[in-house]
Amino acid sequence: MAQKHLNVGAYQQVEIPLPPLPEQKKIAAILSTWDRAIDGTEKLLANSQQQKKALMQQLLTGKKRLSGFTGEWKVNRLGEIYSSFTGLSGKTKNDFGSGYKYITYKNVFLNSCVNIKDIEYVEIKTNENQNKLQYGDILFTTSSETPEEVGMSSVFLYGGNDIFYLNSFCFGFRPKNSLVMNPNFSQFLFRGEEIRRKIQLLAQGATRYNISKNKLSEISLNLPPLPEQKAIAAVLSTSDEEITALESDLARLRQEKKALMQQLLTGKRRVTVD
């Protein structure tokens, strides 16, 4: 394929409207203020993300205990306290686009807690035997292009009356007993480094990696008593809220800078020079 070349002569003919030098300096100063704000927020965000990572490594493994908790942690196999189920089966492309809500692969992959606003639709007939999602279900992706991304988890924390199904490229685990694991705690546990390493070791494949329900059910979980689980989940949820707020601030600052550049660098908006 022929390589395209820039026509230097054509660029030399482009006219660039420039404000007077004092106004240029004022515009640069204004945009630099936004750059500093963006840089500062990026550093705060990176610091908060690192702090959360450290908290997860300590709190989810028992290396650090929260004040007031001394109870013994107990080891359970996932299959002992959860039963597995499959996602949608027997569906064709004509079944999708309307009907009941279902959780997509991408939703599970991206979110430690299912985002019920990010859904798609599927037709379910009355005589079909499909698994409906329930509060506390832990959903897993079955395959990925790399072992590091296989078996990503997302917890279903919706307790309303709407019916949700799970896509066919994921499977789920349902708690047998609500007194063993707190659902809010589980969303952090299965995204923690220790459990992620265990899941990655179960990945099988060459060009695409897969994980089975049976293999996953064998992984061991070291669990604190329920009250401590709830306290750990509360600490990590607060950390998530801080990160979300900083991400929102960063997006706002970037958008504001973009809008300013569109106005100030084109003359649509002029600045007052002292």
Predicted confidence (pLDDT) per residue in 12-69, tens digit: 776 777 888 988 899 999 999 999 999 999 999 999 999 999 999 999 999 999 999 9
Residue 10, pLDDT > 90, answer no
Amino acid type, 214: N
Do residues 71 and 232 make contact, with C-beta atoms less than 8 angstroms apart?
no
Q: How far apart are CA 238 and CA 209, in angstroms?
A: 34
Q: Does 187 lie in the same domain as 112?
A: yes
Q: Which domain holds residue 132?
A: 77-219
- Is 65 in the same domain as 117? no
In a domain, 7, yes or no: no
Using a 10 angstrom Cβ sphere, with 0-12 exposed, 13-18 middle and 19 or more buried, the burial of residue 205 is middle
User: What CATH number corresponds to the domain at position 255?
Assistant: 1.10.287.1120
Which pLDDT score is estimated for 5? Answer: 67
Q: Report how far residue 248's alpha carbon sits from residue 245's, in angstroms, rounded to the nearest whole number.
A: 5
pTM of the model: 0.86
Confidence of residue 177 (pLDDT cuts 50, 70, 90): confident
Q: Are residues 57 and 115 in the same domain?
A: no
CA distances 269 to 50, 53, 165, 266, Å, are 40, 44, 51, 8
Three-class DSSP labels, 168-212: CCEEEEEECCCCCCCHHHHHHHCCCHHHHHHHHHCCEECCCEECC
What value does the mean pLDDT of the chain take?
Answer: 92
Each residue's pLDDT tens digit, 117-149: 999 999 999 989 999 999 999 999 999 999 899
- Residue 9 has a pLDDT of 66
Q: What are the pLDDT digits (tens) for 85-129?
A: 999 999 999 999 999 999 999 999 999 999 999 999 999 999 899
Q: Are residues 66 and 82 in the same domain?
A: no
Which amino acid is located at 248 in the chain?
A: S
Q: Confirm whether 13 is domain-assigned.
A: no
Same domain for 59 and 83? no
Per-residue pLDDT at 1: 52
